[in-house]
């Protein structure tokens, strides 16, 4: 029996390649073509045995660095399975994308044999998978869910009464207990014999420009994501909220110069266009030029708009450049600037020092935080709303600023 097994395995797995046009095991990988950044996704590897005998297989995946597995990679691979005669098995594992852009997983390495000991064939089936990692739309989905349940405060969004009431007449309806007495239409009430209320809606077709900084300062990590990823997620949520309200949203991506410009538009395709423009954007090694950004926006956007900068102001030089450029936009537009706080720097500034080296680090961190605070104050004094926010709160604050501008009729 041992001799027969050796002959069979040698015949099946050690024969010349010309006599083995197809491997004993066929592999096929199933995974979505679009992955959300930071969101786990299941990958299924289908293995089918072509032989009339059961085989033993070892599988090793070669994942790119941008894809992390939920379990330790060493615990998952090499995976060992036994595939029955003319049967199939499935190997499942979960990956978490860590970077936006195009990602490719080559075919897995297989080592197949009847016993897994006497003779094994090493092969790599041609089943490469290509996908694109896009900014997570979980914030957009959560916004829609909470909006339908009228619980946007759970997301940190406070829709003011002025935004809900609006300023443009929409229709008449029966009076509700919670209605404002100022909205009662007394003429219609007299005609119909019951209280009638005027319903207003917010002004529509107003413009919002989201300016995303893609310079080198946005490579810093803010929590689990980079500052650029935080800005991209906030831009998508803001674009969705703006277009859902009937307004128009545009996009500007800049570093030392303007890299991308999408003119303001409305409708469902706007968020898709913003997503396509941002999904593979990467920080450049250049410094941000607010002169180039403000000049480009002012030249292309002639209609009054809310211009929201999602950026970082690392030092006084960057802040002074933005302050000098603000009058160019403030002549016609409403400007807001949001940055993401550095938790590591804040923690270092609050940690009591235990030695001279720790004291110097604490003082340097405190000095950096104070310089950033003064820069934000200078920007606010120049007429732009400016705020530094913890990671994850950028989108809610940008939406709140947009809603507040709508409520106060600033657009």
Query: Residues 279-302: pLDDT tens digits?
Result: 888 899 999 999 999 999 999 999
CATH code of the domain in which 55 resides: 2.60.40.10
DSSP string, 257-296: SEEEEEEEE-STHHHHHHHHHHTT----SSPP-HHHHHHH
Calculate ∠ Cα 304-308-314, nearest 5°.
Answer: 140
Residues 174, 285 within the same domain = no
The answer to whether residue 224 scores a pLDDT higher than 90 is no
- Look up the pTM and report it: 0.72
pLDDT digits (tens, 9 = 90+) for 84-103: 988 999 999 999 988 888 89
Residues 226, 265 within the same domain = yes
Which pLDDT does position 48 carry in this prediction?
A: 92
Confidence of residue 381 (pLDDT cuts 50, 70, 90): very high
Q: Which residue has the higher pLDDT, 329 or 161?
A: 329
Cα(229)–Cα(33) distance, rounded to whole angstroms?
A: 20
Residues 72, 62 within the same domain = yes
Residues 53, 144 within the same domain = no
**Is residue 4 domain-resident?**
no
Cα(399)–Cα(305) distance, rounded to whole angstroms?
A: 14
Bridge-based pairing state of the strands 221-222 and 225-226: antiparallel
pLDDT digits (tens, 9 = 90+) for 339-359: 998 887 888 888 888 888 888
- Which stretch of DSSP H or E encloses residue 94? strand 88-97
Residues 84, 116 within the same domain = yes
Residues 214, 70 within the same domain = no
Cα(280)–Cα(193) distance, rounded to whole angstroms?
A: 61
Which pLDDT does position 203 carry in this prediction?
A: 62
Average pLDDT, the chain: 83
Residues 246, 376 within the same domain = yes
Residues 337, 267 within the same domain = yes
* Domain range for 194: 168-201
Cα(130)–Cα(120) distance, rounded to whole angstroms?
A: 29
Strand partners, 210: 251, 308
The mean-pLDDT minimum among 57-66, 268-277, 352-361 falls in 352-361
Which pLDDT does position 27 carry in this prediction?
A: 92
**Is residue 362 domain-resident?**
yes
Whole-Å CA distances, 385 to 170, 194, 394, 397, 404: 31, 45, 14, 11, 12
Span 120-127, mean pLDDT? 84
Cα(395)–Cα(390) distance, rounded to whole angstroms?
A: 11
**Is residue 41 domain-resident?**
yes
Span 47-71, mean pLDDT? 88
**Is residue 371 domain-resident?**
yes
Which pLDDT does position 18 carry in this prediction?
A: 36
Span 153-182, mean pLDDT? 64
Cα(273)–Cα(285) distance, rounded to whole angstroms?
A: 25
The answer to whether residue 150 scores a pLDDT higher than 60 is no
**Is residue 197 domain-resident?**
yes
Confidence of residue 19 (pLDDT cuts 50, 70, 90): very low
The number of folded domains in the chain is 3
User: Which residues touch 407 (CB under 8 Å, ≥6 apart)?
Assistant: 160, 161, 162, 163
Residues 264, 331 within the same domain = yes
Residues 242, 193 within the same domain = no
The answer to whether residue 160 scores a pLDDT higher than 60 is no
The answer to whether residue 394 scores a pLDDT higher than 90 is no
The answer to whether residue 71 scores a pLDDT higher than 50 is yes
Which of 8-17, 113-122, 186-195 ranks highest by mean pLDDT? 186-195
Which pLDDT does position 329 carry in this prediction?
A: 92
Residues 186, 213 within the same domain = no
Q: Which residue has the higher pLDDT, 143 or 363?
A: 363
Q: Which residue has the higher pLDDT, 170 or 12?
A: 170
Q: Which residue has the higher pLDDT, 357 or 44?
A: 44
Q: Which residue has the higher pLDDT, 386 or 15?
A: 386
CATH code of the domain in which 290 resides: 3.40.50.410
Contact 108, 27 (CB under 8 A): yes
**Is residue 14 domain-resident?**
no
pLDDT digits (tens, 9 = 90+) for 329-339: 999 999 999 99
Residues 217, 191 within the same domain = no
Which pLDDT does position 122 carry in this prediction?
A: 83
**Is residue 16 domain-resident?**
no
pLDDT digits (tens, 9 = 90+) for 231-269: 998 999 899 889 988 899 999 999 999 999 999 998 888
**Is residue 266 domain-resident?**
yes
Which pLDDT does position 291 carry in this prediction?
A: 93
Confidence of residue 163 (pLDDT cuts 50, 70, 90): very low
């Amino acid at each position: 029996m041992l001799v027969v097994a050796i002959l069979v395995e040698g015949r099946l797995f050690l024969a010349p390649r010309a006599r083995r046009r197809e491997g004993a095991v066929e592999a096929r990988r199933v995974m979505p073509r679009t992955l959300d950044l930071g969101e786990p996704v299941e990958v299924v590897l289908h293995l089918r045995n072509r032989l009339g005998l059961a085989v033993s297989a070892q599988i090793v995946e070669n994942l790119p660095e941008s894809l992390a597995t939920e379990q330790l990679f060493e615990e998952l691979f090499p995976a060992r399975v036994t595939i029955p005669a003319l049967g199939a098995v499935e190997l499942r594992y979960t990956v978490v994308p860590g970077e936006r852009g195009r990602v490719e997983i080559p075919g897995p390495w297989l080592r197949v044999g009847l016993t897994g000991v006497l003779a094994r064939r090493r092969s790599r089936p041609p089943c490469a998978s290509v996908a694109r990692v896009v900014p997570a739309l979980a914030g957009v989905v959560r916004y829609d869910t909470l909006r339908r349940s009228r619980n946007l405060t759970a997301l940190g969004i406070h829709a003011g009464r002025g935004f809900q009431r609006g300023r443009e007449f929409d229709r008449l309806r029966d009076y509700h207990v919670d209605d404002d007495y100022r909205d009662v239409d007394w003429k219609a009430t007299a005609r119909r014999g019951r209280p009638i209320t005027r319903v207003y809606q917010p002004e529509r077709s107003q413009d919002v420009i989201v300016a995303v900084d893609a310079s080198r300062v946005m490579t810093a990590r803010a929590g689990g994501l980079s500052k650029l990823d935080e800005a991209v997620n906030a831009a998508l949520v803001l674009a969705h909220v703006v277009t859902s309200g009937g307004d128009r949203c545009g996009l500007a991506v800049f570093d030392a110069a303007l890299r991308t410009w999408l003119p303001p538009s409305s409708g469902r395709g706007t968020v898709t266009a913003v997503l396509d423009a941002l999904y593979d954007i990467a920080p450049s090694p250049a410094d941000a030029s607010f002169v180039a950004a403000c000049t480009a926006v002012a030249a292309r956007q002639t209609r009054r708009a809310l211009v929201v900068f999602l950026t970082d102001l690392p030092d006084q030089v960057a802040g002074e450049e933005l302050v000098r450029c603000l009058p160019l936009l403030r002549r016609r537009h409403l400007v807001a600037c949001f940055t993401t706080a550095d938790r590591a720097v804040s923690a270092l500034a609050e940690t009591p020092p235990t030695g001279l080296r720790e004291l110097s680090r604490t003082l340097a961190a405190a000095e950096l935080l104070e310089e950033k605070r003064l820069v934000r104050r200078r920007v606010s004094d120049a007429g732009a709303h400016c705020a530094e926010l913890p990671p994850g709160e950028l989108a809610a604050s940008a939406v709140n600023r947009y809603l507040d501008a709508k409520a106060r009729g600033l657009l």
